[in-house]
Amino acid sequence: MADREFDIIVYGATGYTGRLVAEHFVREYGNAADGPKWAMAGRSMDKLEEVRDAIGARTSTPLVVADADDPASLEAMCHRTRVVLTTVGPYQLYGDELVAACAKTGTDYADLCGEPAWMREMIDAHHEQAKASGARICFSSGFDSIPFDLGVLMLQQEAVARHGSPAPRVKGRVRSMQGTFSGGTAASLTATMKAAAKNPGIIKVLNNPFGLTPGFEGPDQPSGMIPHYEDELGKWAAPFIMATINVKNVHRTNFLRGHPYGADFRYDEMMLTSPGEAGKAAANAVMDMLKNPFGAKPPKPGEGPSKQERENGHYDVLFVGEWPDGTRLHYGVKGRYDPGYGSTSRMLAETGLALLDSKAEGGVGTPGAFLGEALVERLRDHAEIAFSVEE
C-alpha cells in the first residue's frame, strides 16, 4: 500500500457532492507540501478538467478516468491508491463493482451510503475477503451516520470513565437541524423502495435494528416511531427519518468492537420539537411528512443546496445515556454547515485521511469501528464539528 501512486482518490468528483469533497481537499490541504497525494476520478476527462479548474485546484492535480460500468477501470483505479472515497450513488445501482475491487486489491473505501439492505449484501459478500486483503470498507461516512455513530461511542467512553460502566440505554435526540435533501438522497430512497417491492426479504433488513450484525440479535429496541412527550427534556419527540440507517450502524460498531456498550445495549433516535400543544402538533406533522419526505417534486440527482444554504445550515444532536438507578449523562454533537452536503463532504474527506493512519484490521465496517476517537479529532480540527459532554 505504501508504494501506491496516491493516498486518496475522490471518485465521482464531477458530481454535486464529489465536487464538494474535492473542494475540501483544496481548501484544507491543497497547497501543503506535506499534504495528502490526492486525485480526482470520474467518467469524463473533460468534466474532470472543468471541475478541477472551477474549484481552484492546482493544474497538476491528477485526474483519473473510471466508470462504474467498466469493472476493469475500477480495479485499475484501486491499484493506484490507498483509499477511494466514492460519492457515486445510489450505491445499490453503482457500487457493487467498486466494493468488490477494493476488497480484492486491499484498498480502503469510504462512501456516503444510507442503503442498509445493500450494505448487508456487501457485508455478506465481501467482509471475509476484505479482512484477508486488509481493505477497510467504511460505509455511511457522512451525516448518516458519523455524528450518531461517533456520538454514541464518545458518550460511552465518558460513561465508563465517569461511572465505571457503559450506559445500557442511550437516546439520540436531534435538537435542531437546518438543511435540504438532494437528488442523490431522493434517488437512494427511491431505489431502496423499488428493490424492496421486488424482494420482500429486504424489508426484514430495513425493519431490523440488527440488520447489519449477522449472527447477533440483541434485545428488543425502542421503536422511535411514536411521537411522545419526554419529561426529562421537556419537549415532544417525533420520528427521525435517518434513524433506520443510523441505529443499524451504531449496533454494528458495538458488534465489531466486541460489545463495549454491552450485549444488552438499547438505542433509538428521534427529533425533538417543542413543549406543549405546539410541540405535539409539530411531532404529529413530522409523522405526515415521513409519508412523502420529498414533496410533489423530488430533487433530481446532481442537484443540491446553494452555497449560501450550505453555509447557513447546522445540526445539533443530544445523546442521553441512562442507567437503571436513574443516573444520566448528556453528550452533544454540533456541526456547522448543512448536514447533508456542507458537513457531509468534510466528514467523508476526513474519514479518508483518518483511514491513512488507521491500524484497524480489514473488513466491512463503520467509521466508529475502524476509526473512533482519531476521526473525532480530525472532525474537530478540520470540519467544525464539536463533540463534548454537557454538564
How do the pLDDT tens digits run along the chain, 391 residues long?
Answer: 678 999 999 999 999 999 999 999 999 998 666 789 999 999 999 999 999 999 999 999 999 999 999 999 999 999 999 999 999 989 999 999 999 999 999 999 999 999 999 999 999 999 999 999 999 999 999 999 999 999 999 999 999 999 999 999 999 999 999 987 667 777 787 888 888 888 888 888 889 999 999 999 999 999 999 999 999 999 999 999 899 999 999 999 999 999 999 999 999 999 999 999 999 999 888 888 777 776 667 777 777 888 999 999 999 999 999 999 999 999 999 999 999 899 999 999 999 999 999 999 999 999 999 999 999 999 999 999 999 999 9
Q: How many CA atoms does the CB half-sphere of 286 hold within 13 Å?
A: 22
268: left (phi over 0), alpha (psi -120 to 50) or beta: beta
d(CA 186, CA 163): 42
For residue 1, what pLDDT is reported?
65
Q: Is 222 helix (H, G, I), strand (E, B) or coil?
A: coil
- pLDDT for 125-182, tens place per residue? 999 999 999 999 999 999 999 999 999 999 999 999 999 999 999 999 999 999 876 6
Q: Which three cell numbers stand for residue 377?
A: 479529532
Q: Which three cell numbers stand for residue 93?
A: 445501482
Q: Which three cell numbers stand for residue 35?
A: 499534504
d(CA 301, CA 285): 27
**H/E element, 78:** helix 71-79
For residue 111, what pLDDT is reported?
97
Q: Write the burial class of residue 225 (CB in 10 Å: 0-12 exposed, 13-18 middle, 19+ buried).
A: middle
**H/E element, 285:** helix 276-290
d(CA 163, CA 229): 28
d(CA 260, CA 369): 11
Sign of CA dihedral 18, 129, 246, 355: negative
Q: How many CA atoms does the CB half-sphere of 179 hold within 13 Å?
A: 23
For residue 184, what pLDDT is reported?
74
For residue 308, what pLDDT is reported?
93
CA 89, distance to chain mean position in Å, is: 13
**Cα end-to-end span (Å), the chain:** 44
* DSSP string over 6-61: EEEEEETTTSHHHHHHHHHHHHHHTT-TTS--EEEEES-HHHHHHHHHHTT--TT-
Sign of CA dihedral 196, 201, 204, 210: negative
For residue 181, what pLDDT is reported?
67
Pick the closest to residue 85 from 64, 70, 69 (CA basis): 64
d(CA 297, CA 217): 39
* Nearby residues of 366 by Cβ (< 8 Å), 6 or more positions away: 138, 139, 140, 145, 149, 249, 252, 253, 256
Extract long-range pairs of 211-215: CB within 8 Å, 24+ residues apart.
Answer: 211/116, 211/117, 211/120, 211/248, 212/116, 212/119, 212/120, 212/123, 212/248, 212/249, 212/251, 212/252, 212/255, 213/251, 213/252, 213/255, 214/120, 214/123, 214/124
* Nearby residues of 283 by Cβ (< 8 Å), 6 or more positions away: 227, 228, 236, 237, 238, 273
> What one-letter code names the amino acid at 167?
A
